[in-house]
Structure 1
Amino acid sequence: MNVEKRSIDFIPETERHGEPRSLFFVWFGANANITTVAAGVLPVSLGLNLFWSALSILLGSLIGAVFMASHSAQGPRLGIPQMIQSRAQFGVFGAIVPLLFVMLIYLGFFVSNTLLATQAVAASSPLSSEANIVLLGLLCFLVALFGYKLIHRLQKMLSLVSVVFFGIATLFALALPIDAQQWTTQGFNLASFLASVSIAVTWQLSYAPYVADYSRYLPTHTSARQVFWYSYTGTVIGGSWMMLLGAILTKGVTGFSDNVGLHLLSVLGGGSLLAVAFVLYGQIAINVFNLYGAFMSTVTVIEPFAALKVTAKVRASFMLIICAVATALCTMAQDDFIQFFLNFIFFMSYFLIPWTAINLVDYYALRKGVYKIADIFDPSGIYGRVNWIAIGVFLATIVLEIPFMNTSLYVGPIASALQGIDLAWVVGLLFPACAYYGLMSRRGLVVIKPTKA
């Protein structure tokens, strides 16, 4: 298999291939890992019982995946990565603003995934924690280097194998002696419930910045409806299953949240070589998404300033640097991983949701999916260097969200007045959608005919 030739450039029809059903395996597999299981610990850590944890996970997953899958449907139509398409909203140079936040998210997830994997294999590996971190980073680098085709193949294999492994873990979890009151409607807390819904929504939205990267090679005539539903069902089933499993195991296994990976390994076979290999496979697979996405984002940031031809050597160099930085960050271990993870997910939502609102309103409501692809790569094109409306709305939304925030690091005055209810994600969705649509409609759009390049 050859190293992928394309990076942020348009995929011509002669290189398009595949079927939309492959996206089910991509996004089911993207969730089939211990990081998603760890996300299921969070509703319980907020004080919810299993009934309310399960309901919030399902509700949040169903809502969040709508936005995620709507981004996925853009891939075949446009044939370019998700974040470079943001140039149509923010301008060729202006798109760097949301890109910088997205790159922080990639690095944060890379650290989270690697730390969990390192914890899980610490007792089984003869290597030190630092050596395990470096080895994991190297494996991620090799897979991400080969790119699109290899990622799709590995995700399909992971999806099929994970059904067996996590099926066994689920049967074990359901057989645990858990208090029956955990499945009743008692102990409802609105603030915790809404926070848990927000976590599940954000979890699904975390795929949005790169979801179209994995559908952009599909033929242009591919049904947008099929792309949407295969992406949607894959991520909802995979994400909600793993998070529900994490919530149940948190209640049924003493100290589960202290070391999610190690406890999950004991459930999957007591640290057997097969179980360790499966856990590592899952963590490498999801970290490849983050490394691949970070590479795309880095090229998107640099490309307007320099004529950059992404050869195999250039690709390898960029990915190696990014992987080295991310791996170095992993050595800064967290004393309280779950609290760090909780704050990180809330942090993501405050930036991701305004970006997704602007992007989807522009694509579906304003431009109806019709873009001039060549101008997305041209600072002098119709999308311009900087769209101050998009940037202004994006930054204003972040400021407006501050009073509604509720994290362990900061609690806004409105969140305090609402007894801890965090409505920042609602503000982050509604305000930019309405403001961007209104301001851009007033300014007027250049009407163009559908084009491939």
Structure 2
Amino acid sequence: MTTQLESSGAQHDARVDDGTHPETRGIDLVSDAERHGRARDLVLVWAAPGVSILNLTIGVTLVLLGLEPWQAVGLVLLASLLWILPGIVAASGPAAGTSGSVITRAMYGIAGNRLFVTVVGWLIGAVFLSLSWLASSFMGADVLRRVGLDDPVWTPIGVTLVVSAVTVVVAIFGHGLILRIYPVLAAVLLAIFLAVGVSIMPAVDWAYANPEPLEGVALLSAASIGFTILASTPLSFINSPDIARYLPRSTSPVRIALATAVGGAAPTVVFTVVGVLLGTALTPDALAGGIDAAIFDLLPSWLAPVLVLGVVVNTIALNAMTTYTSSMALQAIGLRLQRIPAAIIVGVVGTALTIALVLTSNLLAAVNLMLQFLVVVSAPAMAIFAADVLLRRARYDGAQLFDDRPGGRFWYHRGWSVPGMTALGVGGIASAVCLATDVWVGPVALALGVVDLSVPVGMLVAGALYALLLRSPIAKDGRP
């Protein structure tokens, strides 16, 4: 235990979380003397990543699926309720005083957690890194194309490299810088995206109606697929404890949950609804050149580059948070790396994946497909984490989470937690057989008429099975 605690970070001083120096702390425990901040500080921290071009893209997708605008808006509001789950999970951060990738040892065991973080944690991080960088790459390249830099390969790759470099720098400075600059970024992004929203309003077809309104199973299919895409964002933030871990131990878990949920949900709802309205203004011909070009065509010439700036800023905000937390995930799986080199490795991997997508994808197709597949792992993982927090009443002993010796509280069965690993596997299978995408339709989804129930089924199966097994003798040690 001592070896791991010492290897996860360097010596710390008062500057470690002031935002003006690189943060050297990794997964090691935050002492009570170093705790600071209030729960409400989390609202604007989570708002900055939420003011995103991906939300506009998802909103357009809901209309393209055949939903009426009012149906799409109702679906957005319904899916926004899932933001309470990252909020519940975030409450474990101050309780344990460490990263979420360490806290999940309570769910999966010391050895099982290494597998979980390697496969699930890294998959979620890689998807959102690549999708966000992909959005900024396509839109930045489109602006540069309009001024003569029109190389279809090297221009978007160049944008990706610049944005990813800035993102990694923010992640290196870490939690303190995130707390300082994200409220400012949220305000800047809000102004830019509100200007975009106002600019597209004249083009909105307020009387829009699907020429062939969906009914019955067809309507249920479209709505279920749309819900899965919407749900993938809040369900992906199992890293929320990492942002809350510096809060004082006495901070109310309810306030942490509400601040995280409101900060994530509010901008997501607003700008996904704007995307729905945008969808009524875009014809198939307009979308032929990509959604980025279609949006630019609706904006005043001065606002297009400003929007790209907003997309880049949002990308940095979202991906710096992801890179920051993913760097600690590398430490949690046992790699003897300081957090800063780990952040650089995460950035390199995410950049490589983004470049691969730039060469093979368009933005709309990449977003929809990857977000749908993401729920196969994120839905059961989030359900298990939230269930564990609730069952333990957000009580975690950080020192015990670092005890990786046989016989430790979270050693379980040879380092593996049967309840956690079983619930994750069964929940993932349940989610996969209920998933409906362009390249995979599970047998249950197919039997229902291509209705996608992957999110509710995956979450219900994983959460309920975990709670049941955790109360059974098979759980052995470490139960609440």
Match of 1:379 among 395, 404, 428: 404
1:400 aligns with 2:430: yes
Shift of 1:97: 2.6
Percent identity over paired residues: 23
- Larger deviation, residues 392-401 vs 113-122: 392-401
Shift of 1:73: 2.1
Post-superposition Cα deviations, 1:219-277, rounded to whole Å, max 9, x if no partner, equal 11112222111111111111111211122212213435853444445656535554433
Post-superposition Cα deviations, 1:253-309, rounded to whole Å, max 9, x if no partner, equal 343585344444565653555443322111111111221122121111125xxxx4x
- Larger deviation, residues 371-380 vs 140-149: 371-380
Shift of 1:162: 2.0
**Does the CA-based 8 Å contact 2:95-2:396 persist in structure 1?**
no
Residue 50 (structure 1) aligns with: 69
1:352 aligns with 2:378: yes
What SS does the aligned partner of 1:93 have?
Answer: helix
Residue 4 (structure 2) aligns with: none
Measured in 2, the distance between the counterparts of 1:234 and 1:52 equals 24
Shift of 1:154: 2.3
Shift of 1:358: 1.5
1:287 aligns with 2:319: yes
**Does the CA-based 8 Å contact 1:38-1:257 persist in structure 2?**
no
For structure 2, the residue ranges without an aligned partner over 5 or more in a row are: 1-19
What SS does the aligned partner of 1:322 have?
Answer: helix
Match of 2:341 among 295, 317, 324: 317
What SS does the aligned partner of 2:110 have?
Answer: coil
What SS does the aligned partner of 1:218 have?
Answer: coil
**Does the CA-based 8 Å contact 1:44-1:50 persist in structure 2?**
yes
Residues 243/287 of structure 1: CA separation in 2 closer, same or farther (3 Å cut): same
Measured in 2, the distance between the counterparts of 1:267 and 1:149 equals 38
Post-superposition Cα deviations, 1:172-205, rounded to whole Å, max 9, x if no partner, equal 2333241514499954511111222222222211
* Paired letter, 1:270: S
Residue 246 (structure 1) aligns with: 275
Measured in 1, the distance between the counterparts of 2:236 and 2:273 equals 18
**Does the CA-based 8 Å contact 2:470-2:479 persist in structure 1?**
no
Residues 109/448 of structure 1: CA separation in 2 closer, same or farther (3 Å cut): closer
Residues 47/120 of structure 1: CA separation in 2 closer, same or farther (3 Å cut): same
- The equivalences for 1:148-297 within 5 A come to 148-182=175-209, 187-188=214-215, 189-207=219-237, 209-254=238-283, 255-256=286-287, 258-265=289-296, 269-270=300-301, 273-297=305-329
What SS does the aligned partner of 1:180 have?
Answer: coil
**Does the CA-based 8 Å contact 2:57-2:275 persist in structure 1?**
yes
What SS does the aligned partner of 2:239 have?
Answer: helix
Post-superposition Cα deviations, 1:359-396, rounded to whole Å, max 9, x if no partner, equal 2222212x222223212112221110211221122112
For structure 1, the residue ranges without an aligned partner over 5 or more in a row are: none
* Paired letter, 1:233: V
- Larger deviation, residues 97-106 vs 137-146: 97-106
**Does the CA-based 8 Å contact 1:76-1:219 persist in structure 2?**
yes
Measured in 1, the distance between the counterparts of 2:347 and 2:232 equals 24
* Paired letter, 1:13: D
Shift of 1:83: 2.0
Measured in 2, the distance between the counterparts of 1:219 and 1:57 equals 34
Measured in 2, the distance between the counterparts of 1:23 and 1:406 equals 34
**Does the CA-based 8 Å contact 2:327-2:340 persist in structure 1?**
no
Measured in 2, the distance between the counterparts of 1:200 and 1:302 equals 33
Measured in 1, the distance between the counterparts of 2:142 and 2:452 equals 39
Residues 427/419 of structure 1: CA separation in 2 closer, same or farther (3 Å cut): same
Match of 1:440 among 445, 450, 470: 470
Residue 6 (structure 2) aligns with: none
Residue 11 (structure 2) aligns with: none
- Larger deviation, residues 431-440 vs 170-179: 170-179
Residues 186/45 of structure 1: CA separation in 2 closer, same or farther (3 Å cut): closer
Residue 114 (structure 1) aligns with: 133
Shift of 1:401: 2.8
**Does the CA-based 8 Å contact 2:331-2:339 persist in structure 1?**
no
- Larger deviation, residues 421-430 vs 253-262: 253-262
Measured in 2, the distance between the counterparts of 1:87 and 1:184 equals 52
- Larger deviation, residues 89-98 vs 163-172: 163-172
Shift of 1:421: 0.9
1:423 aligns with 2:453: yes
TM-score (norm 2): 0.85
Residues 92/447 of structure 1: CA separation in 2 closer, same or farther (3 Å cut): closer
1:138 aligns with 2:165: yes
* Paired letter, 1:3: P
Residue 14 (structure 2) aligns with: none
- Larger deviation, residues 409-418 vs 85-94: 409-418
Shift of 1:87: 0.2
Measured in 2, the distance between the counterparts of 1:256 and 1:181 equals 17
Measured in 1, the distance between the counterparts of 2:93 and 2:340 equals 24
Measured in 1, the distance between the counterparts of 2:288 and 2:115 equals 35
**Does the CA-based 8 Å contact 1:76-1:218 persist in structure 2?**
yes
TM-score (norm 1): 0.90
Measured in 1, the distance between the counterparts of 2:91 and 2:298 equals 37
**Does the CA-based 8 Å contact 2:106-2:478 persist in structure 1?**
no
Residues 263/150 of structure 1: CA separation in 2 closer, same or farther (3 Å cut): farther
Shift of 1:59: 0.8
Match of 2:55 among 29, 32, 36: 36
Measured in 2, the distance between the counterparts of 1:291 and 1:447 equals 30
**Does the CA-based 8 Å contact 1:4-1:146 persist in structure 2?**
yes
Residues 265/72 of structure 1: CA separation in 2 closer, same or farther (3 Å cut): farther
* Paired letter, 2:72: S
Measured in 2, the distance between the counterparts of 1:120 and 1:262 equals 8
Post-superposition Cα deviations, 1:50-105, rounded to whole Å, max 9, x if no partner, equal 1111111111112x112121112222222211121100110111112321122112
What SS does the aligned partner of 2:369 have?
Answer: helix
- Larger deviation, residues 131-140 vs 245-254: 245-254
Shift of 1:341: 1.7
* Paired letter, 2:348: A
Measured in 2, the distance between the counterparts of 1:436 and 1:177 equals 46
For the aligned residue pairs, the C-alpha RMSD in angstroms reads 2.4
